[in-house]
Amino acid sequence: MLTFSLRAAAFGAALSALASAQSVTTTFVGGNSGTTTWTNQFDLAVLNPAGIRITAFDVNCENTRAGGVGSAFNLQIYATALGGTYVGNQTNPAVWNLISSGNGVSRPLGQPTAVYVTDFYLAPGTYGIAIQYNGTAMAYTNGTGANQVYGNNDLQLSLGSSTTGLFAAPLYNPRVWNGTVYYFAGPATWRSFEPGCSGSAGQPRLVPAAGSAARLGQLFTLEVQNLPVAPTPVFLQIGLSSALWNGIPLPLSLQPLGAAGCSLLVSDEVVIGGSGVQTASFALPVPSAPLYFGVNAYFQALVFEPGANALGLTVSNGGDAYLGT
């Protein structure tokens, strides 16, 4: 059995995240609103000692003021440059940095509208967050003191204010942003998806080595099992997506090339070559920088076996890993 390593820089450059099942929701009752280009501000306190990676938002669109149902719109996400509260900084653009953005299509008032944003990492601490709506109006709720704090063990939201335009007076306070924050804050995880196709030793199986996980600052070792008893070339693909490869939808059937039952499952931003007898092992250094926390990468092994089919290629199952602790 041979082990092949990928330099941390190359591995890190190939990683990007857009998924999470963890979330905090405020409310969607509305009751008040601001029109397009207005901004909601609030404090977000990261309580998880590992930090969190924010991947998406749900928002409440006020369709009667701007951008009817089905209209495309954009969110701009800002954070206080040095951390700290939004309070007192609502109309001071100098303290805010643009950290993310995303696009959505407006749903009816009171129904969550999903906006997938460029994911971003927040270390433990308190941040002022500002969300600007462009192309749709925002629905929010007047604060009462009893409806302004939401959270869990990972994060807490303290709400909030609204301004006309981007950090422009007049200031409306208190105003409760209507929405959901989606984020990743869990341990390193692995999930297998979609089967591979069989060769002479059965279906190649891509799994983490015993005890191995995609933990920051450690080696993440993947094994390709069920290889032939003779030395067999194996390539490990690491991708940014399980949905698209060079603009082509995935999975992509390899049957037209002579590999019936085989499909390409992930994109190929990084490809590592190796070989093995019955098993091949790939040791991947995971970057240690906290900004990689929660990043998602996709994997699949390609096994070159003449005689397995007309293409001489079989493939493993797909796998996706979330980098964590």
User: In tens digits, what is the pLDDT along the chain, a chain of 325 residues?
Assistant: 333 333 333 344 344 333 335 899 999 999 999 999 999 999 999 999 989 999 899 999 998 888 889 999 999 999 998 889 999 999 999 999 999 999 999 999 999 999 999 889 999 999 999 999 999 999 999 999 999 999 999 999 999 999 999 999 999 999 999 999 999 887 898 999 999 999 999 999 999 999 999 999 999 999 999 999 999 999 999 998 898 888 899 999 999 999 999 999 999 999 999 999 999 999 999 999 988 888 889 999 999 999 999 999 999 999 999 898 8
How remote is the C-alpha of 278 from its chain's centroid? Answer: 34
Round to whole Å and give the CA distance between 35 and 179: 16
Taking the chain, what is the end-to-end CA distance rounded to the nearest angstrom?
28
pLDDT at 294: 85
DSSP-derived letter for residue 307 is: T
User: How is residue 81 written in tokens?
Assistant: 């440059």
Its sign, for the CA torsion 30, 35, 36, 41, is negative
Q: What are the b/e assignments for 222-255, b being 16+ CB within 10 Å?
A: bbbbbbbeeebebbbbbbbbbeebeeeebbbebe
Q: What are the b/e assignments for 157-168, b being 16+ CB within 10 Å?
A: bbbbbbbbebbe
Q: Other CB atoms closer than 10 Å to residue 170's CB: what's the count? A: 9
Q: Other CB atoms closer than 10 Å to residue 191's CB: what's the count? A: 9
pTM higher than 0.75: no
SS3 256: helix
161 conformational bin, left if phi > 0, alpha if psi -120 to 50, beta if neither = beta
The domains of the chain, with CATH numbers, are 3-15+187-322 (2.20.130), 27-177 (2.60.120)
Q: Which residues pair with 80 in a beta bridge?
A: 96
Cα Rg of the chain (Å, integer): 23
Cis peptide before 170 (omega within 30 of 0): yes
Residues 6+ apart with CB under 8 A from 144: none
Element (H, E) at 8: helix 8-13
Round to whole Å and give the CA distance between 206 and 191: 10
Main-chain phi, psi angles of 95, to 5 degrees: -95, 0
Round to whole Å and give the CA distance between 215 and 239: 18
Round to whole Å and give the CA distance between 10 and 66: 44
Place of tokens 């397009």: 36
